[in-house]
Structure 1
Amino acid sequence: MFLGQEHKVRFDYFFKRDGTHQMDVERQAMFYIFAGNGELMDKLDFFYDFSERMIRIEGFDEVCLSSSAKSLVELGFNLYNNYPCGTVVDLFGNLDEKNRRLALNAIKLRFKMEEHDLLTCK
Protein backbone atom coordinates (compact mmCIF):
# COMPACT_ATOMS: atom_id res chain seq x y z
CA MET A 1 0.00 0.00 0.00
CA PHE A 2 2.92 2.35 0.60
CA LEU A 3 4.40 4.11 -2.42
CA GLY A 4 7.94 3.28 -1.33
CA GLN A 5 10.19 2.73 1.66
CA GLU A 6 10.51 6.47 2.44
CA HIS A 7 6.70 6.72 2.53
CA LYS A 8 6.46 3.89 5.08
CA VAL A 9 9.30 5.26 7.23
CA ARG A 10 7.76 8.75 7.28
CA PHE A 11 4.28 7.36 8.03
CA ASP A 12 5.64 5.28 10.93
CA TYR A 13 7.42 8.37 12.26
CA PHE A 14 4.23 10.48 12.19
CA PHE A 15 2.22 7.62 13.70
CA LYS A 16 4.65 7.17 16.60
CA ARG A 17 5.21 10.89 17.15
CA ASP A 18 1.47 11.39 17.55
CA GLY A 19 0.87 8.25 19.57
CA THR A 20 -1.91 7.34 17.16
CA HIS A 21 -4.02 4.41 18.25
CA GLN A 22 -4.11 1.40 15.90
CA MET A 23 -7.85 1.89 15.38
CA ASP A 24 -7.62 5.62 14.59
CA VAL A 25 -8.07 5.29 10.85
CA GLU A 26 -8.91 8.99 10.54
CA ARG A 27 -5.43 10.12 11.60
CA GLN A 28 -3.78 7.24 9.80
CA ALA A 29 -5.36 8.29 6.50
CA MET A 30 -4.24 11.90 7.00
CA PHE A 31 -0.69 10.90 7.97
CA TYR A 32 -0.59 8.51 5.00
CA ILE A 33 -1.19 11.44 2.66
CA PHE A 34 1.40 13.72 4.27
CA ALA A 35 3.98 10.93 4.38
CA GLY A 36 3.53 10.06 0.72
CA ASN A 37 3.83 13.45 -0.94
CA GLY A 38 7.26 15.01 -1.36
CA GLU A 39 5.95 18.56 -1.09
CA LEU A 40 4.04 17.82 2.13
CA MET A 41 6.42 15.47 3.99
CA ASP A 42 8.22 18.26 5.81
CA LYS A 43 5.20 20.55 6.18
CA LEU A 44 3.02 18.48 8.48
CA ASP A 45 3.82 20.74 11.45
CA PHE A 46 2.10 23.60 9.60
CA PHE A 47 -1.08 21.53 9.35
CA TYR A 48 -1.09 19.35 12.46
CA ASP A 49 -0.35 20.24 16.07
CA PHE A 50 1.16 17.14 17.67
CA SER A 51 0.94 18.53 21.20
CA GLU A 52 -2.78 19.31 20.89
CA ARG A 53 -3.37 16.38 18.49
CA MET A 54 -5.48 18.45 16.11
CA ILE A 55 -5.34 19.87 12.61
CA ARG A 56 -4.24 23.44 11.97
CA ILE A 57 -6.37 25.02 9.26
CA GLU A 58 -4.33 28.23 9.58
CA GLY A 59 -1.47 26.31 7.97
CA PHE A 60 -2.97 27.20 4.59
CA ASP A 61 -2.05 30.85 5.32
CA GLU A 62 1.44 30.01 6.60
CA VAL A 63 2.89 28.04 3.71
CA CYS A 64 2.69 28.18 -0.07
CA LEU A 65 1.43 24.97 -1.69
CA SER A 66 0.88 23.80 -5.24
CA SER A 67 -2.73 23.13 -6.19
CA SER A 68 -1.99 19.40 -6.03
CA ALA A 69 -0.58 19.59 -2.50
CA LYS A 70 -3.48 21.79 -1.36
CA SER A 71 -5.96 19.23 -2.68
CA LEU A 72 -4.16 16.48 -0.77
CA VAL A 73 -4.20 18.48 2.47
CA GLU A 74 -7.91 19.16 2.06
CA LEU A 75 -8.56 15.49 1.41
CA GLY A 76 -6.48 14.52 4.45
CA PHE A 77 -8.43 16.95 6.61
CA ASN A 78 -11.71 15.66 5.20
CA LEU A 79 -10.78 12.06 5.95
CA TYR A 80 -9.69 13.12 9.45
CA ASN A 81 -12.73 15.09 10.57
CA ASN A 82 -15.00 15.75 7.58
CA TYR A 83 -13.37 19.14 6.90
CA PRO A 84 -15.26 20.73 4.00
CA CYS A 85 -13.39 20.36 0.74
CA GLY A 86 -14.14 20.45 -2.94
CA THR A 87 -15.86 17.78 -4.95
CA VAL A 88 -14.13 14.60 -5.99
CA VAL A 89 -13.62 16.14 -9.44
CA ASP A 90 -12.12 19.29 -7.87
CA LEU A 91 -9.73 17.31 -5.68
CA PHE A 92 -8.66 14.67 -8.16
CA GLY A 93 -8.48 17.07 -11.09
CA ASN A 94 -5.33 18.61 -9.61
CA LEU A 95 -3.54 15.31 -8.99
CA ASP A 96 -1.07 13.42 -11.14
CA GLU A 97 -1.09 9.60 -11.29
CA LYS A 98 1.12 9.11 -8.21
CA ASN A 99 -0.93 11.50 -6.08
CA ARG A 100 -4.19 9.94 -7.30
CA ARG A 101 -2.91 6.59 -6.06
CA LEU A 102 -1.93 8.24 -2.78
CA ALA A 103 -5.41 9.76 -2.42
CA LEU A 104 -7.22 6.54 -3.29
CA ASN A 105 -5.09 4.50 -0.90
CA ALA A 106 -5.81 7.01 1.88
CA ILE A 107 -9.54 6.64 1.22
CA LYS A 108 -9.19 2.85 1.32
CA LEU A 109 -7.27 3.10 4.59
CA ARG A 110 -9.85 5.41 6.14
CA PHE A 111 -12.77 3.17 5.21
CA LYS A 112 -10.91 -0.12 5.81
CA MET A 113 -11.31 -1.25 2.22
CA GLU A 114 -9.34 -4.12 0.75
CA GLU A 115 -8.60 -4.52 -2.95
CA HIS A 116 -10.87 -7.56 -3.17
CA ASP A 117 -13.72 -5.55 -1.59
CA LEU A 118 -13.75 -3.28 -4.62
CA LEU A 119 -14.04 -6.22 -6.97
CA THR A 120 -16.73 -8.08 -5.03
CA CYS A 121 -18.77 -5.00 -4.04
CA LYS A 122 -18.61 -5.76 -0.32
Structure 2
Amino acid sequence: MFLCQDHQERFKCFLEQDGTHNLDVERKAMFYIFSGISELADKIPFFYDFSERMIRIEGYDEASLSSSEKSLVKLGFNLYNNSPCGTVVDLFGNLDEKNRMLALNAIQFRFKMD
Protein backbone atom coordinates (compact mmCIF):
# COMPACT_ATOMS: atom_id res chain seq x y z
CA MET A 1 0.00 0.00 0.00
CA PHE A 2 2.87 2.41 0.70
CA LEU A 3 4.62 3.80 -2.36
CA CYS A 4 8.09 3.29 -0.86
CA GLN A 5 9.89 2.77 2.43
CA ASP A 6 10.23 6.53 2.99
CA HIS A 7 6.46 6.92 2.59
CA GLN A 8 5.83 4.36 5.31
CA GLU A 9 8.42 5.88 7.65
CA ARG A 10 7.06 9.44 7.22
CA PHE A 11 3.53 8.12 7.80
CA LYS A 12 4.53 6.41 11.06
CA CYS A 13 6.37 9.56 12.15
CA PHE A 14 3.27 11.73 11.56
CA LEU A 15 1.07 9.29 13.49
CA GLU A 16 3.49 9.25 16.41
CA GLN A 17 3.94 13.03 16.41
CA ASP A 18 0.17 13.50 16.42
CA GLY A 19 -0.67 10.68 18.80
CA THR A 20 -3.25 9.47 16.30
CA HIS A 21 -5.60 6.83 17.68
CA ASN A 22 -5.49 3.56 15.76
CA LEU A 23 -9.17 3.86 14.78
CA ASP A 24 -8.86 7.45 13.50
CA VAL A 25 -9.07 6.60 9.80
CA GLU A 26 -9.76 10.22 8.87
CA ARG A 27 -6.41 11.50 10.13
CA LYS A 28 -4.62 8.38 8.94
CA ALA A 29 -5.92 8.86 5.38
CA MET A 30 -4.83 12.50 5.40
CA PHE A 31 -1.39 11.64 6.78
CA TYR A 32 -1.11 8.85 4.21
CA ILE A 33 -1.42 11.48 1.47
CA PHE A 34 0.88 14.04 3.10
CA SER A 35 3.56 11.42 3.74
CA GLY A 36 3.41 9.99 0.22
CA ILE A 37 5.33 12.82 -1.44
CA SER A 38 8.43 14.24 0.18
CA GLU A 39 7.53 17.78 -0.96
CA LEU A 40 4.18 17.59 0.84
CA ALA A 41 5.71 15.95 3.88
CA ASP A 42 8.19 18.81 4.14
CA LYS A 43 5.31 21.31 3.98
CA ILE A 44 3.07 19.60 6.54
CA PRO A 45 3.36 22.49 9.04
CA PHE A 46 1.38 24.53 6.51
CA PHE A 47 -1.46 21.98 6.55
CA TYR A 48 -1.53 20.51 10.04
CA ASP A 49 -0.89 21.86 13.53
CA PHE A 50 0.40 18.95 15.59
CA SER A 51 0.20 20.85 18.88
CA GLU A 52 -3.49 21.71 18.36
CA ARG A 53 -4.17 18.47 16.45
CA MET A 54 -6.08 20.23 13.70
CA ILE A 55 -5.79 20.99 10.03
CA ARG A 56 -4.81 24.43 8.78
CA ILE A 57 -7.07 25.18 5.80
CA GLU A 58 -5.32 28.54 5.35
CA GLY A 59 -2.05 26.67 4.74
CA TYR A 60 -3.34 25.70 1.33
CA ASP A 61 -3.00 29.34 0.25
CA GLU A 62 0.22 29.96 2.19
CA ALA A 63 2.30 27.13 0.73
CA SER A 64 3.78 27.12 -2.74
CA LEU A 65 2.17 24.06 -4.34
CA SER A 66 2.12 22.44 -7.77
CA SER A 67 -1.28 21.66 -9.29
CA SER A 68 -0.82 18.01 -8.34
CA GLU A 69 0.06 18.90 -4.75
CA LYS A 70 -2.98 21.20 -4.54
CA SER A 71 -5.25 18.35 -5.60
CA LEU A 72 -3.73 15.98 -3.05
CA VAL A 73 -3.98 18.51 -0.21
CA LYS A 74 -7.64 19.14 -1.06
CA LEU A 75 -8.28 15.40 -1.07
CA GLY A 76 -6.46 14.99 2.25
CA PHE A 77 -8.61 17.70 3.83
CA ASN A 78 -11.74 16.14 2.35
CA LEU A 79 -10.94 12.69 3.70
CA TYR A 80 -10.24 14.23 7.10
CA ASN A 81 -13.33 16.39 7.56
CA ASN A 82 -15.30 16.50 4.31
CA SER A 83 -13.78 19.85 3.33
CA PRO A 84 -14.81 20.81 -0.24
CA CYS A 85 -12.40 19.44 -2.82
CA GLY A 86 -14.04 19.77 -6.22
CA THR A 87 -15.07 16.98 -8.51
CA VAL A 88 -13.32 13.68 -9.06
CA VAL A 89 -12.31 14.94 -12.52
CA ASP A 90 -10.89 18.14 -10.98
CA LEU A 91 -8.87 16.18 -8.45
CA PHE A 92 -7.59 13.37 -10.61
CA GLY A 93 -7.07 15.47 -13.74
CA ASN A 94 -3.88 16.98 -12.29
CA LEU A 95 -2.36 13.74 -11.01
CA ASP A 96 0.23 11.54 -12.65
CA GLU A 97 0.03 7.76 -12.27
CA LYS A 98 1.99 7.66 -8.99
CA ASN A 99 -0.16 10.35 -7.39
CA ARG A 100 -3.36 8.72 -8.66
CA MET A 101 -2.31 5.56 -6.84
CA LEU A 102 -1.59 7.63 -3.73
CA ALA A 103 -5.05 9.22 -3.92
CA LEU A 104 -6.86 5.93 -4.56
CA ASN A 105 -4.98 4.19 -1.73
CA ALA A 106 -5.89 7.04 0.64
CA ILE A 107 -9.56 6.68 -0.28
CA GLN A 108 -9.36 2.93 0.34
CA PHE A 109 -7.59 3.59 3.63
CA ARG A 110 -10.26 6.05 4.75
CA PHE A 111 -13.15 3.71 3.96
CA LYS A 112 -11.42 0.54 5.18
CA MET A 113 -11.47 -1.12 1.77
CA ASP A 114 -8.76 -3.75 2.07
TM-score normalized with structure 2 length: 0.98
Which residue does 2:51 correspond to in 1? Answer: 51
Q: Equivalents in 1 of 2:68, 2:75: separation in Å?
A: 11
2:62 aligned residue: 62
What CA deviation, in whole Å up to 9, does each residue of 1:49-69 have, x standing for no partner?
111111001102211100000
1:85 corresponds to: 85
Q: Secondary structure at the match of 1:71?
A: helix
Q: For residue 37 of structure 1, report the CA deviation from its aligned partner.
A: 1.2
Counterpart Cα distance in 2 of 1:108 and 1:61: 27
**1:1-122 alignment to 2 at 5 Å?**
1-114=1-114
* Amino acid paired to 2:90: D
The structure with more radius of gyration: 1
Q: What percent identity do the matched residue pairs reach?
A: 75
What residue ranges of structure 2 are gaps of 5+ in the alignment? Answer: none
Letter of the 2:21 partner, please give it. H
Unpaired segments ≥5 residues, structure 1: 115-122
Q: Aligned to 1:39, what secondary structure does the other structure show?
A: helix
- The 3-state SS of whatever aligns with 1:102 is helix
Runs of 4+ in 1 over 2 A off after TM superposition: none
Query: Which residue identity is paired with 1:94?
Result: N
Report the count of equivalent residues. Answer: 114
Paired AA for residue 97 in structure 1:
E
TM-score by length of 1: 0.92
